[in-house]
Chains A and B, each alone.
Chain A
C-alpha cells in the first residue's frame, strides 16, 4: 500500500531541513563567526552613519566680541563639542584645512552683523550634523543683535537615536541578504561542488523537498543569527525595538524566504563556488543600494527609479522600515512583490533542479 504523499513530503522536508541544520551545528565555529560578523556589521553601520557630536568634534571660533565668544563657547560645549578660540581668521582657517577642526565660525563685528560658518568638507554626514547646530546658534546671535532681521532655525529633529533607528531599518536588509547568500546560496553551491546534491537527486524524493528544506534551514539559520546579533547589539549600542514587532518578524521571514529562493536558484545556475561568491557579494550591494537603502526613491533619476522598482530589495527595505519605525503602515503591495519574487525564484529553481545532472 502506498503511503499518503503529503505526510511523506512533509516528513522528507523536515528530515532534510533537520539534517542540514545538524550539519551546520556540527561546525560551531561557523555559527560563531556568523554571529560575530553580524554583530560587527550592526555596530559598525551605526558608528559610521550616525554622527554624534562629542568632544572629539573640535570647533574653531574667531570673534573680537567677548560676550559673543562666551556665548558661542557655552552653546557649543553645551552640545558636547570642544571649542578652540583663534586670535586671527588665518590661524583658524589653517587649522580647518589641516583637519584639526570640524568647522570654523567667524563673527566679525560687535553687533554681529556678519557671521561666517566654514565646514571641513571631509564628511557630509558630520557637516550636516554640525550645520544644524551652527545655523541655530548663528540665527540666535543675529536675532539678538537686530530683532528685525529675524531668522529662526530649529534644532535638528534627527537625534542620534532616530538616525540609528532609520539606518538600522534601512541597512538590516543588507545583513539579511548577506546571511541568505551564505546559508542558502553558498551551502547549495558547495553541495554541487562536493556532489552531496547528487546523493539527494538519486532518491525518489520530490525536488520541491530539497528546495523547501534548503529554504527552511537557510532561513531559520539566518534568522537566528540575525536575532541573536540584534539582541546583543540592542543594549550595547541602543538599537531600536521594532514599533510593530510581530509584523517586523513576519517581514524579516518573508524577505529571507524570498531572497533565499533567488540565491538558491542562482546557485543552481552558477554551480561553482568562486563565481557564485563574486555574484553574491556584488548583487547584495547592488540590490540594497539600488533598492533605496540610503537615497530615497523620490530623488533618484528616472532610470534609477525604474531599476529600483525592479529591485526586490526596494520592497524589503520599505516594509522593514515601516515595521521597525512605525511612521507609515506596511504596504500590502510591498509584501505581494516580495512573495512574487520568492515564488518565481522557487519555480525557476524547481525547473533547474529537474534538469540538473552531473555535467
Chain B
C-alpha cells in the first residue's frame, strides 16, 4: 500500500476499516493528503469509496483505525476538526427550500463567520462559482450542475484545509463537468487538499496527482497519472488490467 511522500498530511487515515455485518466495506486504508494535492478514489460500484469518504467526513464511525485532521482525531463528537473540512456529498444535501444566498449565509454562520467577513465570503463564493444569476433562486429548483456548484461554494465558504467530494460530477454534462474541474483546480492551487471519489477514468487522469484504486474495500494500487504521461488511454488500460485481475470483480 502506497503512502504519500511528504510528512505533514492535513488529512490522514490510519488502518481505517468499516464493517457492515460480516462484510468489510473498507479495510486497512492508509491515506495521507498534502496541502494543495488532488487525490482521487477510483473503483467499481460497491468498492467502498463512499464509505471511506463518509468516515473521513465524520458521518460514519470507523470500526478499526481512525481519521486525523491536521493531527487531531476525527470523531462524530469532535467539532473542532470539522471547521477544517469542507464536504460535498449526497449524504449532506443543501436545504432545497432556501435560496442559494440564504444557504450560503446559513452555512457561513454555522462555521462561525459573521458581519463583514460573512458578507465578503458569500460575495466571493457567488463570484468564484458563477452563481450570481441564480443566487436568489431556491436550491430545490436549480439544475443538478448548478446545485453542485452551490454545494461546492457552501463547502468552500469557510476556507477549509481539506475538501471532500463524493462523485461531484456524476450526472453532469461535459461543459458543467469541465467547469467544476476548473473550480477544483483553482481551489487546490490555494493550498486546499482535495479528496474525491469518481467513476470517470478521464476525470481521475486529468485532475488528480494521485489516484487510489479501491477494490472490495481495500486500496489495491495507487497510480500517479503523471507517471503515465497523463494519457487517459494508458490510464484506462492500467485500471482495467488491475480490476480484471481481482477475483469476483
Contacts and interface: CB of A to CB of B under 8 A. Distances in A.
A306 B185 CA distance: 66
B98 A202 contact: no
Contacts of B57: 202
Please indicate which of the listed interface residues A23, A194, A195, A202 has the most CB atoms of chain B within 10 Å of its own CB: A202
A19 B59 contact: no
Contacts of A122: none
A202 B105 contact: no
Given A23-B97, A201-B76, A202-B57, A358 B91 contact: yes
Interface residues of B, number: 33
Contact of A195 (B93, B97, B105): B93
Given A16-B110, A19-B98, A358-B59, A204 B91 contact: no
Interface string A186-204: 0000000011101111111
B114 A11 contact: yes
A205 interface: yes
B138 A198 contact: no
B110 A15 contact: yes
Contacts of B97: 22-24, 26-27
B228 to A, nearest CB: 35
Contacts of A195: 90-93
Contacts of B91: 195, 198, 358
Given A11-B109, A195-B91, A203-B110, A358 B54 contact: yes
Please indicate which of the listed interface residues B91, B110, B111, B138 has the most CB atoms of chain A within 10 Å of its own CB: B110
Contacts of B98: 19, 22-23, 26
Interface string B56-97: 011111000000000000001101101101010011111101
Nearest to A197: B92
Nearest to B107: A203
A16 B76 CA distance: 20
B102 interface: yes
A357 interface: yes
Interface residues of chain B: helix, strand, loop or mixed (majority)? loop
B76 A204 contact: no
B18 to A, nearest CB: 9
B191 interface: no
A355 B104 CA distance: 27
A8 B108 CA distance: 11
B58 A356 contact: no
Given A204-B80, A206-B79, 8 more contacts: A19-B102, A201-B92, A202-B58, A202-B87, A204-B83, A204-B110, A357-B61, A358-B60
Interface of B: 20, 54, 57-61, 76-77, 79-80, 82-83, 85, 87, 90-95, 97-98, 102, 105-107, 109-112, 114, 138
15 contacts: A8-B112, A19-B98, A22-B97, A24-B97, A26-B98, A27-B97, A198-B59, A198-B91, A200-B110, A202-B85, A203-B82, A204-B79, A357-B60, A357-B76, A359-B20
